[in-house]
Every structure is written in structure tokens, then in C-alpha cells.
Structure 1
Amino acid sequence: MHQTTLSQNLLGLRKAEAIYDRVVQLSDLIFRDEALVNKQEHLQELTFLLQGVKGTDTILTIFNHRTYLPELQVGQEEFWGLLPNETKDERMKNVLSILHKDYAAFPYESVNWLADIFPKIPYEDRLNMKVHHCCMRFIRADDKQIRLFSQGVPVQVDENRNFRYTLNYIQNIQHLIKKDFTSYWIRISYGQNSELVQTFHSGSKDSSKRDLLSTREKEVLLLIAEDLDTKEIAQRLFISVNTVGNHRSNMIDRLGARDTTALVQLAKMTGMI
């Protein structure tokens, strides 16, 4: 039994290393090589920020977009659980080794998408950027399930407003996601008032400048968040009760939310409502 587990772990590490090497190649297409300035100050800030959310389900990290490595991290041991003894360069490979097979394409697929869309964003629109990744599933050595939610904001950019480093807030949202949801999605917001978006959904391989939720769906969801029931929402929006129900079901299915309460929380966490 022990030998089987060991073989499985070694196989997972080899796959993770191959995925990681490909991600590094892709990241070089878009990101620049610059040193992180004020490193100690950033570490102190991260440590301070994490005190408000300290626990086993949150990490704060500064991520280097040239090396595709976390430059600084706080809370990673509690979050990922027991991983092999490692250097900083090995951490991402070890983390990828516990990525569930349903999400094996996530690392290079997501970086490839970012490398494709980011150069097409005009310089003047590269403001107030936030990058959200959601739903990727990991299984720790102790069998604890992790559903990853990450919000990244740039803390250092180059002269063309390409990311050098991002500050990432990473959270386990296992309690918000359906157990059988096998997709992930990414949402980037940017612009003067964060009014512009680009999205990717792995279930449909859909890349779009439209949001993950339509304008009408957001209207319905805002009223749900105000605690209106289905009949009240239908009356407010002059639509049928069945239409309200269809909108709710479609939103839950698309975002992978466990229920309506989780749906509202996910939409708020990403700024969709």
C-alpha cells in the first residue's frame, strides 16, 4: 500500500514538473524580468495583512510573473498541508502535483490564455486590474479538499503596464462549490472604473469580452442578494417566475456555485455585483 502511494506521488510530481516547465515557457511570452523592490517591506505588509484572516484556508503571496514563482508567501504551510521538503523553486511543482486530474490543463491553459489576451489590452486601459481564478481542485496529503479562489492585483508593473509582480489573496472556497463541478473560470477586470472585463470558462473553452453573467442575470442576482423571493423579483423586473428560476439555475451552473447563497458570495468576491 505504501509502495503504491509512493509511486503515485512520484508520478504526480513528474507530471507537475512537466506542466510547470511549460507554464514557465508560456509566461516568458508576456512578462518582464525585473527585481522586486522593497522586498522586506512587502513581507512585513503581507504578514500584517494576514493577521486579519489568519487560519488554514488563506494565503497571501507576491507572485513573480517572469519566473512563475511566489516571491514571498505567508500562510502557505497551513494552507497546502504537508508537502515534501523543498526550495522555493520546487514549491509550485509540489503544489501542482496535488492538483486533481480534472484540472490538469489549468496551469498551462490559463497562462496561455493570459499571454494571448493581455497584449491586446490597450495601454490606456491597463488600470485598476484584478485577476480572479476560481474553482480549481486540489487534494492534500491528508485528503483535505481545496477549491482555489485567487484574486491578484499588480504591485509592480513595467513601462508598458505589464505585470512584474502581483499581490494574490488565495482562499479555499470548498464550501461554495458543487462537488461535481469539474470546470474553472477566470475573470479579469480593468479600465478607469474597472468597467472592462475579459473572461475564460474551461467548460466551454469560451474566451470573451463579455462577463460571466449577463446584465439581466446580474439584475436578478442583485435582487436575490436583497433577499427578494422569486415572485417579487419577477414582479420587479416584469418577467415570469419561470424566467427568474432559469436565470438562477444558469448562473449556479456556470459559476459552479453550491447554492444561491454561494452564488451571491462568488459574484460579490469577483466584483460582478
Structure 2
Amino acid sequence: MSSSFFIDNTIGEVERFREEANLLLNGIKGTDAVIGIFDHLNYTPVLEVGEKEFWGELPEVSQAERMIQIMSLLEKDYLTFFTDSVKWFTGVLEEIPFEQRTNIQIFHCGIRYRLLDDKPICLFSKGSPIHYDESRKFNYTFNYVQNINHLFKKNFRYYWIRISHGENSEYVHTFHSQDKLHSNKDLLSVREKEILKLIADDNDTKEIAEKLFISVNTVGNHRSKMIDKLGVRDTTALVQMAKMTGMI
């Protein structure tokens, strides 16, 4: 989105933002997605495109009440998602030194909602800051949100968050609701990523074992561990989620 649309740290031309978002959404027709701008200072969306198709025909509410409305759709296992994640997210941002506050990407995966028509949604979102102040702090992110219910196991009742930043996205912070621990390490280990990249390159288990000088059983154990950790249905979903969240 065009940062030139900002005037004195506020969005000056919302309709031009909407035009850009509509163009982007038209390019990904066929997916269950919504695009928008999120105000982190007031914790509310200031623009949504495709929201009615995504969230359904919800009653009209004010912008200030929008997040309360969306929170009301959370499944009961996720009722503490907003408080837990915002507390963690705020702490992470405060820890990032000035020189590392570049190329920030924020990913949320696995939060479950139940729409008014009883349709289940398992949410993936990617947030990218679109305007920084002189200290490289941001108030607004451009958000892409997609329903990934088809990629996650039905019995996986957790969510995870990944933040990457730095010139080459070399710094990572993660949060997994299963243990609620803040980590400066990625969700997947270096070895797991190595194996997953080979899987993504269409190598079978035997080929991977030979290339890495490990046993076939070890490859299989790593694959199972990654699937269980991320909560995805199968290897195909594992590769897709790792790519969507920048892990490989």
C-alpha cells in the first residue's frame, strides 16, 4: 500500500487505499480472504475490503466497536487470544532495537471463529507495517487475512504467532498458545527447515535421508514433529504454511 497517502501520521485518503485493496483482492479471487488496514494505536480496523464475504452479514457497528464484534465470534477455546497475544506482541515490539526495526512481518495462524451461519473459520493473517515514525515505531499495518480451515487439523486447538524483522528477516520471535512461551527462536529448527525445504523441492523420504546422512526414520520423525507443532493436516499443508509464514 502507498505510504504517500499518509498526512501527519494519519491516513489522508482512505478511498485511494480502498481502490488499491480492491485491486489486490481481485487478483486473488477464489480465496476466502479479506484485506485491510489495522490501527494498532486504537486496536481497530480502519479499512476492510471483502469483509462481508469473509465474516458474513454482521450488524452494522461503529469502527470503535468492530473488534468487539469480531471477538464475539471467537470459539470458546480462544477467548483469551486477544489479551494474551496483545500483551506478548506489545512486549516484543518494545524489545526490538531501532536498527532492527525494518522489514517487520507479523503472522497469526490457527485462531478459530464460528460465524453466525455456523461456518467455521481458522484464521491466517499477515501484517506489514505501512508507516513508521522517526523512531521506527508504527501504528498501522496492511493486513491480509485468509481462512485456512482446510489446512489445519480439526482437533488442533492452539494458535501460534511469528514475527520476523531485520534487513534479511534474520530476527524471529514466536508465541505458541500450547505453552504460552515467548521465544526468540523460530517454531521450526534449522534441521527441520532443511528437511522441509527438501520436501518442498519434491525429494522423497529416502532421498532426503541420503542427502543429509540420516536415517529414513529420522526424516519421518522430523516431519511428524513439524506437523504436530504447527497443527496442519499433512505434509502438503506443512509446506504451504511454512512458505506463507516465511519459515522457508
Alignment TM class, shorter chain as reference? over 0.9
Q: Distance in 1 between matches of 2:135 and 2:231?
A: 35
Q: Hey, what does 2:174 align to over in structure 1?
A: 199
1:146 alignment partner, SS class: strand
- Aligned identity (percent) is 57
Q: Hey, what does 2:193 align to over in structure 1?
A: 218
2:166 aligned partner, one-letter code: G
Contact 2:111 2:123 in 1 (8 A): yes
Q: Summarize deviations over 1:239-271 as a string: whole Å, max 9, x none.
A: 111111110011001111110000000000011
Contact 1:56 1:78 in 2 (8 A): no
Q: Hey, what does 2:123 align to over in structure 1?
A: 148
1:176 alignment partner, SS class: coil
2:50 aligned with 1:75, yes or no? yes
Q: Summarize deviations over 1:109-163 as a string: whole Å, max 9, x none.
A: 1000011111110101000110000000001111111000000001112221112
For structure 2, list consecutive stretches of 5 or more residues without a partner in the other structure. 1-7
Q: Hey, what does 1:232 align to over in structure 2?
A: 207
2:201 aligned partner, one-letter code: E
Q: Summarize deviations over 1:141-191 as a string: whole Å, max 9, x none.
A: 111110000000011122211121000000000110000111100001110
2:61 aligned with 1:94, yes or no? no
Q: Distance in 2 between matches of 1:220 and 1:59?
A: 32
2:38 aligned partner, one-letter code: F
Q: Distance in 2 between matches of 1:39 and 1:143?
A: 32
For structure 1, list consecutive stretches of 5 or more residues without a partner in the other structure. 1-32
Q: Pick from 125, 135, 139: which aligns with 1:164?
A: 139
- Aligned ranges for residues 169-184 of structure 1 at < 5 Å? 169-184=144-159
Q: Distance in 2 between matches of 1:155 and 1:116?
A: 20
> By how many angstroms is 1:231 displaced?
1.3
2:225 alignment partner, SS class: helix
- Aligned ranges for residues 22-101 of structure 1 at < 5 Å? 34-55=9-30, 57-101=32-76
1:89 aligned partner, one-letter code: A
Task: Calculate the TM-score normalised by the size of structure 1.
Answer: 0.85
Number of aligned residues: 241
Contact 1:154 1:167 in 2 (8 A): yes
Q: Hey, what does 1:108 align to over in structure 2?
A: 83
Q: Distance in 2 between matches of 1:188 and 1:215?
A: 17
Q: Distance in 2 between matches of 1:91 and 1:80?
A: 12
Contact 2:127 2:141 in 1 (8 A): yes
Q: Distance in 1 between matches of 2:29 and 2:137?
A: 31
1:181 alignment partner, SS class: coil
